[in-house]
Amino acid sequence: MSVSQRVALPLLPTGVPGLDAVLGGGLPEFSFNLLSGTPGAGKTTLAHQIMFANAAPARPAVYFTVMGEPPIKMLRYQQQMAFFDPAKVGESVHFVDLTSVAITQGLNAVLEQIIQQVEALNPSIVVVDSFQAITRTVVAAETSGIDLQTFTQRLAVNLTVWQATTFLVGEYLIDNVQNNPVLTVADGIIALFQSTDRNSVVRKMQVVKSRGQAQMPGLHTFRISEAGLQVYPRMSIVVDKMERTRPLQRGSTGVEGLDALVGGGIPVGDAVLVSGPSGAGKSVLSAQFIAAGAQSGEPGVIAVFEEHPKEFLRRADSLGINLTAMEQAGLLKIIYIRPLDLSPDETLAAIRTAVQEIDAKRVVIDSLTGFELALAPTFRIDFRESLYRLVGALTGTGITVLMTMEITQSSTDLTLSPYVISFLTDNIILLRYVEIAGQFKKSLVVVKMRNSNHSNDLMLYEITPHGMIVRESLDAYDAGGVDTAKLREASRRPTYPGLTADETKLLQALIELREAPAELLARRAGLPVGPQLTAALDRLVSLAYAARLDDATHTYRPVAQLLG
Amino acid sequence: MVSIANGEADSQQPMPALSEQLARRLLPPAAGETPSTDALALAAAGAYTRLRARLAVFLGEQGFDALWRRAIRLSQQGPLEAGDTARAEASPTLPPGLHGALRGSNAAEAHTRLVAAFASFIGLLFTFIGEELGMRLIAQAWPELTSGAADPQVEGAPL
């Protein structure tokens, strides 16, 4: 049958964020569905949420309770949910209890009552809760007058013909439904679980069956809050997006001297891993990356896992990076995800929401180490796979992702990360400590950078009051081990008699830049602009290390013999 | 939300609980201007039947009956006498549990006890499902409660 000849299957929205995507667009109208799960899994809440989302005076919803949770308790608890609208009760949402009918007259009478109410109210949504209790009644009663299969069949036929989308709520376990007539009749089965791992409990759901729909396979995590259920569809990577030819545009890292090392900037739409030991400056680099994006009109999102956002903002501010202003200008969103038992999909949902809100082009995950710790144990086992899907889902939409990862620096090997995750990214920058002349210095190396003629040099860098600045190469040093280096005698730096440490820094910056205004020199040297800078520059000029080219612009250059 | 406003006329008087205001409204109009004990009993039976018809639909008959019995018990002062419970009584002319309340009472006493029983029931309903939802369901059984007609028996409590 051609597509145009097929009967249309209109889809109802569930009113549950994320669930429509899992179902393949929504619930097929007039379908006969089973909501199954263990006690406390959220079946009743899910049924109520769907019911309140769809009920309207012209096509109301009817909630039949049969020997399950007492209605007075159900109403007491369900009205705590934000979706529960008391104004709809009795108008477009009707509650009917048939427990007495089931007890005194049997299932046949229950069926007749349901049909009678449906014919009278003309509902679009019908819920029968608990259908499992009905099953037990059939088994227990010798004279129920009707078997379960007949009951289910007649119920399905009548409710479908009356154009109602039906939900049977029951404590079925998927393993036990193989020979259950309800399973045969049901068009859709949504199973809810509570997955326990040590002290952690994670809610998961599975669309076991959905006739006529291309549902998302697998288990999807969900949470129940005051707002009701929120489903986090298991991330999948859209292949055509992943396989697309990615543009070779580049975005600045925001770190002076680093763009040149990575071949002109980070390829847009790529993921880059910044790996390094504690205190190496990974978060600083992250902040500069986001600030550089904001300056070029690319909003960014920072997902913070290790520290409170306020601390992140404060530290960035101390480096002259005003993330707060960017946040206020709508160029930045900082998300702090620290609930118990986090799932990767929940993280992605939060990041995606933030990305959509400000049309972000850059995302920072700081750090993968903190992210892993926040995950429920059950997800830590599949951390690599989760990360793969998370990174793929973000870069698949053209977002440039920078992830930081803390590593323990060893004297005997060069570790990029405690996990084998280098396959996740085409771009890795490794930060390391190196011991030089009795001091710990910071160095970095670009391990790999997609389609880039990147530097292989180990470079010294500093965290200055202006942020991270890449200094000179370590090529003048002999390695004495992975994290030690000795300056070769022949390459020993010249000394500049009479200069203080800050003045020497300024002179070195001037030699590197060859010609620069005072402000740029200050940034390069990592010194604050002010009277001290002016005094230092004046001294360089007075000692004939530098020449002032233009008093108006305060441009300097080193004297000729220093450059030779 | 369906609500009962505090009238200006009785602003000097302490406002009875909402459940009591409602209970007063459910009974006297059916009982007439100068009700006798029998007329009050009839009005109470009518109110009970009307409440049960609406509320038992969603609470279930068993749920409604259990709630009523609990309300009767809460409205009774002092120790129970034999047979003086909603479960023990079954009178075609009185709601369960109220036979003892009216036994030997004059009209004024009977009215007080009936109001107490119905107020107890409504209060209990509010306790479980909240005032807003409870009011809504009662108003569905008594649409005239929201019609704006003042109750002559309750001073200054216009709807």
Q: Is the pLDDT of residue A78 over 90?
A: yes
* Chain B residues near residue A103 by CB distance under 8 angstroms: 62
Structure tokens at A275: 């790996």
pLDDT at A254: 94
Select from B56, B61, B129 the Cβ nearest to the Cβ of A76: B129
A519 pLDDT band (50/70/90 cuts)?
Answer: confident
Lowest model confidence (mean pLDDT) among A64-68, A138-142, A313-317, A510-514: A138-142
Radius of gyration for the alpha carbons in chain A, expressed in angstroms and rounded: 32
Q: Where are the alpha helices (DSSP H) in chain B?
A: 18-26, 28-31, 37-59, 61-75, 99-102, 107-129, 131-141
Q: Under a CB-based contact definition with an 8 Å cutoff, are residues A445 and A458 in contact?
A: yes
Task: For residues B49-71, give the mean pLDDT.
Answer: 90
Measured distance between the N- and C-terminal CA atoms of chain A, rounded to whole angstroms: 83
Q: Do A71 and B62 touch (CB under 8 A)?
A: no
**Tokens 């049309």 — which residue?**
A359
Q: How many other CB atoms sit within 10 Å of the CB of residue B141?
A: 17
pLDDT tens per residue, range A376-413:
888 877 788 878 888 888 888 889 999 999 887 665 55
pTM of the model: 0.73
- Beta A32-37 vs A93-97: how paired, if at all? unpaired
Select from A65, A86, A100 the Cβ nearest to the Cβ of B132: A86
Chain A to chain B, count of Cβ pairs less than 8 Å apart?
59
Q: Do B133 and A100 touch (CB under 8 A)?
A: no
Structure tokens at A182: 């309800």
Q: Does B140 touch chain A (CB under 8 A)?
A: yes
Nearest to A381 by CA among A392, A372, A368, A390: A372
Q: Do A99 and B62 touch (CB under 8 A)?
A: yes
Residue to substitute from B55, B68, B129, interface A, most A β-carbons within 10 A:
B129
Amino acid identity at A153? Q
pLDDT tens per residue, range A408-430:
766 555 565 566 666 677 899 99
* Chain B residues near residue A48 by CB distance under 8 angstroms: none
pLDDT tens per residue, range A202-223:
899 999 988 888 888 889 999 9
B81 pLDDT band (50/70/90 cuts)?
Answer: low
Q: Do A100 and B61 touch (CB under 8 A)?
A: yes
Q: Do A86 and B60 touch (CB under 8 A)?
A: no
Q: A97: left (phi > 0), else alpha (psi -120 to 50), else beta?
A: beta
pLDDT at A271: 93
Q: Do A79 and B129 touch (CB under 8 A)?
A: yes
Q: Under a CB-based contact definition with an 8 Å cutoff, are residues A526 and A462 in contact?
A: yes
Q: Do B62 and A100 touch (CB under 8 A)?
A: yes
Structure tokens at A416: 């990029």
Structure tokens at A24: 């393949």
State chain B's mean pLDDT as an integer: 74
Q: Do A86 and B136 touch (CB under 8 A)?
A: yes
Q: Do B140 and A95 touch (CB under 8 A)?
A: no
pLDDT at A494: 62
Task: For residues A523-535, give the mean pLDDT.
Answer: 84
Residue of B nearest to A98 (CA): B60
CA of B35, closest CA in chain A: separation in Å? 33
Distance of alpha carbon A29 from alpha carbon A7, whole angstroms: 12
Identify the three-state secondary structure at position A558.
strand
A294 pLDDT band (50/70/90 cuts)?
Answer: very high
Chain mean position to CA A31: 33
Select from B1, B58, B137 the Cβ nearest to the Cβ of A97: B58
Structure tokens at A143: 């004279």
CA of B95, closest CA in chain A: separation in Å? 20
Q: Which residues contact A387 (CB under 8 A, 6 or more apart)?
A: A344, A368, A421, A424
B7 pLDDT band (50/70/90 cuts)?
Answer: very low
Nearest to A148 by CA among A137, A161, A164: A137
State chain A's mean pLDDT as an integer: 84
Phi, psi for B54 (deg, rounded to 5): -85, -50
Chain mean position to CA A462: 31
* Chain A residues near residue B63 by CB distance under 8 angstroms: 70-72, 97, 99
Nearest to A276 by CA among A461, A438, A131, A91: A461
Q: Is the pLDDT of residue A265 over 50?
A: yes
More confident residue, A345 or B157: A345
How far lies A368's CA from each of A212, A339, A386, in Å? Answer: 39, 16, 11
**Tokens 């505090």 — which residue?**
B6
For chain B, positions 77-136, list CB contacts with chain A under 8 A. Answer: 128-130, 132-133, 136
Number of H-type helices and E-type strands within chain A:
21, 27
DSSP letter string over A289-346?
HHHHHHHTT--EEEEE-SS-HHHHHHHHHHTT--HHHHHHTTSEEEEE---TTB-HHH
Q: Is the pLDDT of residue A444 over 50?
A: yes
Q: Is the pLDDT of residue A481 over 60?
A: no
Amino acid identity at A499? L
Phi, psi for A558 (deg, rounded to 5): -75, 160
CA of A153, closest CA in chain B: separation in Å? 25
Distance of alpha carbon A289 from alpha carbon A47, whole angstroms: 45
Distance of alpha carbon A433 from alpha carbon A436, whole angstroms: 10
Which residue pairs from B103-108 have beta carbons closer than 8 angstroms and sit at least 24 positions apart in sequence? B105/B37, B106/B37, B107/B35, B107/B36, B107/B37, B107/B40
Lowest model confidence (mean pLDDT) among A15-19, A340-344, A358-362, B105-109: A340-344
* Chain A residues near residue B1 by CB distance under 8 angstroms: 86-87
CA of A48, closest CA in chain B: separation in Å? 15
Phi, psi for A478 (deg, rounded to 5): -95, 135
Residue to substitute from B51, B52, B55, B58, interface A, most A β-carbons within 10 A:
B58
Q: Do B129 and A75 touch (CB under 8 A)?
A: yes
Q: Does B9 touch chain A (CB under 8 A)?
A: no
Q: Where are the alpha helices (DSSP H) in A329-480?
A: 344-358, 368-374, 377-380, 383-395
Select from B1, B61, B133 the Cβ nearest to the Cβ of A75: B133
